[in-house]
C-alpha cells in the first residue's frame, strides 16, 4: 500500500523534531564549552558566540588536569571489559534459556529479571564485602565484576528474546550437515542474532561508561578512577568552571557516540535473511 505524500512528510517532520530534541542538550553543551566565561554566566543566554574559545579542550588534558586523561583510559578499559564479558555470558545464558527445556526455566527467568528491580545502592555493601574478600578492590577487574551484576541480567533477557525469534530449523540443518551444537550456535545463530548482540553491547557499554556510585565506592586510588568520578572533581566547593566542565563532558560523550557508530549497522540488519526450504 502506497503511503500518501502528506503522511510521509508528517513522519519525516516528526523524526526531525525528535532528532533535534535529542541533540539539543549535546549541542548546548558543545556551544557552552567554547563560550567565554562572561557569556556563560550572563543572565540572558546566547545561542552562539562571536569569540569561541577552543583552548578548554587542551586545558582538560594538560598537566593540571592529567587525571582526566587517565580516567578516560580507565573508563575505556572498564567499559570495554564489561561489554565483552557481559555479551559473552549473556549470549550463552540467553541461548540456553531459549533452546533448552531447563527445569524451572520460567522461575529462573523471573529471578534474572528480579535482580533488575533492586536499586544499585542495595548491592554496594554485599559487593564490597565479597570484593574485599577476593582482593578485587581498587582494580579494573573488580569494577568489571561489579558492573556485570547490573548489566548481565537485562542482557540475558534481551538476547533470550532475540534467540527465540530465530527458527530452530536453521541450527538443526547445520547440525544435520555435521556441525556440533556449539558450532551451529557460533556459526549460524550468533551471526543472525547480530542486532540483538549489538543492542546488548550498546546497553552494556553505556551503563558501564556512565556508572558513578560503584566507581566512587570500590576505587580509592587516584590513578584508577573512571571518568564520572573525575568529572565530579571539576566542581569545587566555592565555584565551578562551567566552560571547562562542558568541554570535559563533550569529551566524555564522544567515545559513546563512536562506539554506537561502530555497531549501529548491526541494529539495522534483518534478523533472518532467508528461510529453510525442503
pLDDT per residue as tens digits for the range 26-75: 888 888 888 887 777 777 777 777 778 787 787 777 755 567 788 888 99
Distant-in-sequence, close-in-space partners of 21: CB < 8 Å, separation ≥ 6:
none
Task: Tell me the C-alpha distance between 164 and 168, whole Å.
Answer: 8
- In the chain, where are the structural domains located? 1-53, 55-268
Task: Tell me the C-alpha distance between 23 and 29, whole Å.
Answer: 10
Residue 221: all three cell numbers together: 586510588
Return mean pLDDT, the chain.
81
Under DSSP, is residue 229 helix (H, G, I), strand (E, B) or coil? Answer: helix
Are the beta carbons of 227 and 251 closer than 8 angstroms? no
pLDDT of residue 72: 86
For residue 57, which of 65, 45, 67, 49 has the smallest C-alpha distance?
Answer: 65
For residue 127, which of 143, 112, 104 has the smallest C-alpha distance?
Answer: 143
pLDDT of residue 120: 80
Under DSSP, is residue 117 helix (H, G, I), strand (E, B) or coil? Answer: helix
Task: Tell me the C-alpha distance between 51 and 40, whole Å.
Answer: 12
Burial 171-180 (b: 16+ CB within 10 A, else e): bebbeeeebe
Residue 90: all three cell numbers together: 549473556
Q: Which CATH code fits 55-268?
A: 1.10.3720.10
For residue 254, which of 13, 6, 30, 22 has the smallest C-alpha distance?
Answer: 30
pLDDT at 270 over 60: no
The residue among 96 and 65 whose pLDDT is bigger is 96
Amino acid at each position: 500500500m502506497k503511503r500518501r505524500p502528506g503522511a510521509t512528510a508528517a513522519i519525516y517532520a516528526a523524526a526531525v523534531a525528535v532528532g533535534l530534541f535529542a541533540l539539543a542538550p549535546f549541542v548546548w553543551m558543545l556551544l557552552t564549552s567554547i563560550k567565554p566565561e562572561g557569556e556563560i554566566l550572563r543572565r540572558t543566554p546566547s545561542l552562539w558566540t562571536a569569540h569561541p574559545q577552543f583552548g578548554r579542550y587542551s586545558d582538560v588534558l594538560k598537566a593540571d588536569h592529567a587525571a582526566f586523561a587517565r580516567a578516560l583510559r580507565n573508563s575505556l578499559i572498564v567499559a570495554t571489559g564489561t561489554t565483552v564479558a557481559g555479551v559473552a555470558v549473556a549470549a550463552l545464558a540467553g541461548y540456553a534459556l531459549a533452546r533448552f527445556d531447563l527445569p524451572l526455566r520460567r522461575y529462573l527467568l523471573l529471578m534474572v529479571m528480579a535482580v533488575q528491580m533492586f536499586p544499585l545502592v542495595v548491592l554496594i555493601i554485599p559487593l564490597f564485602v565479597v570484593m574485599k574478600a577476593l582482593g578485587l578492590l581498587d582494580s579494573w577487574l573488580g569494577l568489571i565484576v561489579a558492573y556485570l551484576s547490573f548489566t548481565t541480567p537485562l542482557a540475558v533477557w534481551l538476547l533470550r528474546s532475540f534467540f527465540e525469534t530465530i527458527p530452530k530449523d536453521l541450527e538443526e540443518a547445520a547440525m544435520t550437515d555435521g556441525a556440533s551444537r556449539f558450532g551451529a550456535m557460533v556459526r549460524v545463530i550468533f551471526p543472525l542474532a547480530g542486532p540483538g548482540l549489538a543492542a546488548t553491547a550498546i546497553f552494556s557499554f553505556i551503563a558501564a561508561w556512565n556508572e558513578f556510585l560503584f566507581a566512587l565506592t570500590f576505587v580509592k586510588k587516584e590513578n584508577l578512577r573512571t571518568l564520572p568520578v573525575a568529572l565530579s572533581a571539576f566542581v569545587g566547593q566555592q565555584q565551578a568552571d562551567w566552560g571547562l566542565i562542558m568541554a570535559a563532558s563533550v569529551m566524555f560523550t564522544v567515545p559513546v557516540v563512536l562506539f554506537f557508530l561502530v555497531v549501529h549497522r548491526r541494529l539495522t540488519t534483518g534478523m533472518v535473511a532467508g528461510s529453510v526450504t525442503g
